[in-house]
């Protein structure tokens, strides 16, 4: 039993790496849904930000471990290359924080917030754009439609329900310590600036023309404890044939954003910035930025297979004399080939590697 609990704790500790994540993001939107976000995140140099290293057999010699600097660069490269829905990156910088995590700062441009996937998250969390009328709508979470109470697939006796409820709470207790540790540093602060007049908002704090939303790990842990202590909630899960694990509860609290969180703005609307001009300039400067940060290697120009032969020297003019010209043979003699020489070869101009555009995938 103790071994199973320890294994479960280790697995959940790996699953909840988001708990060591801190971030803040400032969003600015235009009426057409395009926008930019100026953000800063803190994250550890380990999976999923750092790729999992393969194991080596006894007969293999593993390569030397990467330096902390190389690990940091690899993490940042993974985020930039594996995030999607982003038109361009700008003002990217990163450093080691005092606690050993990586601090990454950047400005991102996007045309549709719903299509943005910021690695390692593979789901869209936010949407913004016209609501089909004359308003703009930002959605973090909307209330789910009310449905009929779940019907059990087979009759559940009070004894069965009590036993399953006890099992759920025991499994949660086995992993609670690991989850609480991972959630201790989780903190996300979001701010939103839009081009219209606020009409209505739910679950967001208003400060002038700015709306904000915050997620804090310790509060999430408290909410998870409350859910696990709620017998009515657990009974609903049992009747629906579902389970309640720490992973399920955390997904609901962190990613599901339980409750309504949204805002609506009305016109007239005016663009807050020139998206096309800023995004185009950032996209053009991005390859040079990646090279300068050491996140891309300069492309090497391939050398020609054979060097061009030197131009033949002009034949000397015949000397003047008084002898009459001799009759030329009908078949001219073949000129012996020149001996190869490496002197006087023309120089081949090499392109400046810092000016070679390097595409950033998968954008």
Q: Give the Cα separation of 275 and 110 in Å (integer).
A: 9
Q: State how far the Cα of 118 lies from the Cα of 338, in Å rounded to an integer.
A: 63
Q: What is the DSSP letter of 17?
A: G
Within a 10 A sphere around the Cβ of 242, how many other Cβ atoms? 13
* Sign of the dihedral defined by the CA atoms of residues 232, 235, 239, 245, in that order: positive
Return the exposure string of 189-228: e unless at least 16 CB atoms fall within 10 Å of the residue's CB, then b. Answer: ebbbebbbebeebeebeeeeeebebebebeebbebbeebb
**Total-model pTM:** 0.68
Please give the pLDDT value at position 245: 65
Question: Could you give the angle at the alpha carbon of 272 between the alpha carbons of 270 and 276, nearest 5°?
Answer: 105
CA atoms within 13 A on the CB side of 293: 25
How far apart are alpha carbons 202 and 198 in whole angstroms?
11
What whole-number distance in Å separates Cα of residue 171 and Cα of residue 246?
8
Task: For residues 75 and 44, give the distance between their C-alpha atoms in angstroms, rounded to a whole number.
Answer: 9
Q: Are strands 187-193 and 22-29 parallel, antiparallel or unpaired?
A: parallel
Round to whole Å and give the CA distance between 108 and 105.
10
Q: Contact 13/250 with Cβ under 8 angstroms?
A: no
| Torsion sign, CA atoms 197, 202, 208, 214 | negative
Radius of gyration (C-alpha) of the chain in whole angstroms: 33
The residue count for the chain: 363
Please count the helices (runs of H) and the strands (runs of E) in the chain.
7, 11
CA pseudo-torsion sign 142, 148, 149, 153: negative
Residue 74 makes CB contacts below 8 A (sequence gap 6+) with 50, 51, 66
Taking the domains of the chain in order of start, what are their residue ranges?
2-54+65-293
Interatomic CA distance for residues 21 and 18, integer angstroms: 5
Across the chain, which has 363 residues, the per-10-residue mean pLDDT values are 38 43 94 96 87 79 89 94 96 95 96 92 84 88 62 75 89 84 85 91 89 88 85 83 66 56 91 97 97 88 54 56 51 48 32 27 20
Q: Supply φ then ψ for residue 223, to 5 degrees.
A: -65, -35
**Confidence (pLDDT) at 181:** 80
Distance CA 14, CA 263 (A): 35
């Amino acid at each position: 039993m103790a071994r199973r609990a320890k294994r479960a704790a280790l697995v959940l500790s790996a699953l909840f790496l988001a708990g060591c994540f801190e971030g803040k993001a400032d969003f600015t939107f235009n009426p057409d849904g395009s926008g930019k976000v100026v953000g800063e995140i803190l994250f550890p140099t380990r999976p999923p930000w750092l790729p999992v290293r393969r194991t080596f057999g006894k007969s293999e010699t593993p390569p030397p471990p990467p330096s902390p600097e190389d690990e940091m660069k690899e993490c940042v490269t993974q985020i930039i290359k594996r995030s999607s829905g982003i038109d361009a990156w700008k003002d990217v910088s990163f450093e080691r924080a005092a606690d050993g995590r990586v601090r990454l700062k950047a400005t991102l441009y996007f045309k549709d917030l719903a299509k943005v996937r910021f690695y390692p998250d593979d789901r869209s969390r936010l949407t913004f754009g016209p609501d089909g009328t004359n308003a703009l709508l930002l959605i973090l979470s909307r209330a789910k439609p009310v449905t009929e109470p779940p019907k059990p697939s087979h009759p559940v006796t009070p004894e069965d329900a009590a036993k399953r409820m006890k099992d759920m709470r025991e499994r949660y207790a086995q992993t609670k310590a690991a989850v609480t540790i991972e959630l201790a540093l989780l903190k996300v602060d979001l701010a939103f600036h839009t081009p219209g007049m606020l009409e209505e908002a739910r679950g967001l704090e208003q400060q002038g023309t700015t709306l904000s939303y915050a997620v804090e790990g310790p509060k999430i842990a408290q909410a998870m404890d409350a859910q696990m202590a709620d017998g009515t909630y657990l009974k609903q899960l049992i009747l629906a044939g579902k389970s309640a694990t720490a992973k399920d509860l955390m997904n609901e609290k962190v990613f599901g954003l339980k409750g309504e969180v949204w805002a609506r703005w009305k016109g007239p609307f005016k663009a807050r910035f020139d998206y096309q001009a800023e995004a185009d300039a950032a996209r053009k400067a991005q390859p040079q930025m990646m090279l300068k940060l050491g996140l891309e290697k300069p492309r090497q120009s391939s050398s020609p297979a054979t060097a061009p032969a030197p131009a033949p020297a002009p034949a000397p003019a015949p000397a003047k004399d008084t002898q009459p010209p001799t009759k030329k043979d009908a078949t001219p003699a073949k000129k012996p080939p020149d001996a190869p020489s490496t002197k006087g070869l023309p120089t081949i101009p090499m392109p400046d590697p810092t000016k070679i555009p390097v595409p950033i995938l998968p954008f």
